[in-house]
Chains A and B, each alone.
Chain A
């Protein structure tokens, strides 16, 4: 058998082995990186943001958002009016009621896109008392909060915070 044919066969075998190894690695990665669906929760809060000469420290629940809200909304004091945590169910509608005045209707399903990183596609409806203010479709993932800038309240601003929690 000519040397050229032997070399071609060796080359084909090497390429085949490489392709097999790559496929095997992808399968292994897919298997190991796909977590079992966990029962996540969604946390909602109603916050009053104001400016004060002597701002009070934010409550513990708002500490992780305080600096970001300060940068985004320009207020230096944040008070928690109320909060509510619900398990995210993919069946039916859930209700988030951080306060009796502001509450949200919620329908959720898991986001399938890779970049959503285990997040949810949410259909949200924000109510002020019984009046619907806005409907929205939102993709949320853990560690990535959504703020809704609500109406002016006194000398400050109402902010609704939503965050997926594991």
Chain B
């Protein structure tokens, strides 16, 4: 059975009929003040229907869109307030493992693991500077990495005949 207030509202609106109306009017006899309010209630309903307080939306879709955006923008703030840190335990462990891998890679790549062996060296002599003693002499440095050799190439020297005793 519907509560009295609900039946009263339906009665005021004229929606009660038949047995339901007869039953309600019996109850109404016990509430004479309610019967007296019928006129006031009907006038108020009429007034509210003729003067709606809710403004009519010109673009309801846009309004909904704005509303949804606002809700979405405020959602992370609510999440932050829950107190969860970015550095959860799994993330902390992953970061640690990643750091270890980086450290190991740096260790392997930056620190030589084998002592340099001189006999297998690809080092070749370097001429830092060469100053000819005479302006007519020129000194050029030639590096040959392929032959692992360095040459100081002197030009402008006097020819020596084969008869000259070198020893």
Contact = CB atoms under 8 A, between A and B. Distances in A.
B121 A72 contact: no
B129 A136 contact: yes
Contacts of B165: 101
B137 A133 contact: yes
B125 A134 contact: no
A32 B164 CA distance: 52
A56 interface: no
A108 interface: no
Interface residues of A, number: 61
B150 A137 contact: no
Q: Which bracket fits the contact residues of B?
A: 35 or more
Contacts of B73: none
A146 B150 contact: yes
A141 B144 CA distance: 15
Contacts of B157: 128, 133, 150-152
Contacts of B130: 134-137
A14 B111 contact: no
Interface in A16-56: 18-19, 22, 25-26, 29, 32-33, 46, 48
Contacts, number: 172
Contacts of B112: 29
26 contacts: A4-B87, A4-B88, A7-B92, A14-B100, A15-B96, A15-B103, A22-B111, A68-B148, A72-B144, A116-B123, A119-B123, A133-B137, A134-B137, A136-B127, A137-B129, A139-B126, A141-B121, A148-B151, A149-B152, A151-B154, A151-B157, A153-B160, A154-B162, A158-B160, A158-B166, A166-B118
Given A26-B111, A121-B128, A139-B125, 8 more contacts: A4-B88, A7-B93, A14-B100, A15-B99, A72-B144, A142-B118, A143-B119, A158-B166
Interface of A: 3-4, 7-8, 11, 14-15, 18-19, 22, 25-26, 29, 32-33, 46, 48, 67-68, 71-72, 81-82, 99-102, 115-119, 121, 128, 131-155, 158, 166
